[in-house]
Structure 1
Amino acid sequence: MTDSIPDTVTNALEAVPVEDATALEAGAGVGNGTAGLLAADAETVYSVTDEVDHAETVRERCPAATVLQADLGAIPLPDDTVDVVVAHGLFNVLPNETAAAVAAELTRVAAPGGWLVIDDYGPHPSDSRIRRLFAVENALAELAAARPAYVFYPADELRTLFEGHGWTHERTTTLLDPVPWTQGHMDAHVDAARRAATGVPDEVADPLLRRAERLAAEGADPTGRMYSLALRHEA
Structure 2
Amino acid sequence: MDVPTTVSTALEDRPVSGAVCLEAGAGVGNTTAGLLAAGASRVYAVTNDIDHAATVEERVARDEPDRTTVLEADLRNLPLADDSVEIITAHGLFNVVSPASLDAIVDELTRVAAPGSHLVVDDYEPLPDDAAMRDLFALENAASELATGGSALTFYPAAVLRRLFVGEGWQFDRTRTLLDPVPWTEQHVRAHANVARSLAEDVPGELGEELSREAERLVTTIGSESIGEMYSIAFRLPD
Quickly name the TM-score band, shorter chain normalised: over 0.9
Q: Which residue of 2 aligns with 1:75?
A: 78
Match status 1:191 vs 2:194: yes
Gaps of 5+ in 1: none
Q: Which residue of 2 aligns with 1:47?
A: 45
Q: Pick which of 214-223 and 167-176 moved more.
A: 214-223
- Select 1:139's aligned residue among 138, 142, 147: 142
SS at match of 1:204: helix
Q: Which residue of 1 aligns with 2:98?
A: 95
SS at match of 2:225: coil
Shift of 1:68: 1.2
After superposition, what is the alpha-carbon deviation per residue over 1:28-52, rounded to whole angstroms, capped at 9, x for unaligned?
0100110000000011111111111
Matched residues, number: 233
Gaps of 5+ in 2: none
Alpha carbons 2:47, 2:73 under 8 Å: kept: yes
Q: Which residue of 1 aligns with 2:18?
A: 20
After superposition, what is the alpha-carbon deviation per residue over 1:65-98, rounded to whole angstroms, capped at 9, x for unaligned?
1111111111111101111001111000000111
After superposition, what is the alpha-carbon deviation per residue over 1:127-176, rounded to whole angstroms, capped at 9, x for unaligned?
11101100000001001101100000000000011111101111111000
d(CA) in 1 for partners of 2:238, 2:145:
38
* Partner AA of 1:220 in structure 2: S
Shift of 1:207: 2.7
Q: Which residue of 2 aligns with 1:33?
A: 31
- Select 1:226's aligned residue among 222, 226, 230: 230
SS at match of 2:116: strand
SS at match of 1:144: helix
Match status 1:214 vs 2:217: yes
Identity of aligned residues (%): 55
Shift of 1:57: 1.3
- Select 1:86's aligned residue among 86, 89, 114: 89
Alpha carbons 2:197, 2:211 under 8 Å: kept: no
- What TM-score does the superposition give when structure 1 sets the normalisation length? 0.96
CA RMSD of aligned residues (A): 1.1
* Partner AA of 1:48 in structure 2: V
SS at match of 2:45: strand
d(CA) in 2 for partners of 1:52, 1:193:
20
d(CA) in 2 for partners of 1:52, 1:211:
29
SS at match of 2:183: coil
Q: Pick which of 47-56 and 7-16 moved more.
A: 47-56
SS at match of 2:103: helix
* Partner AA of 1:10 in structure 2: S
* Partner AA of 1:124 in structure 2: L
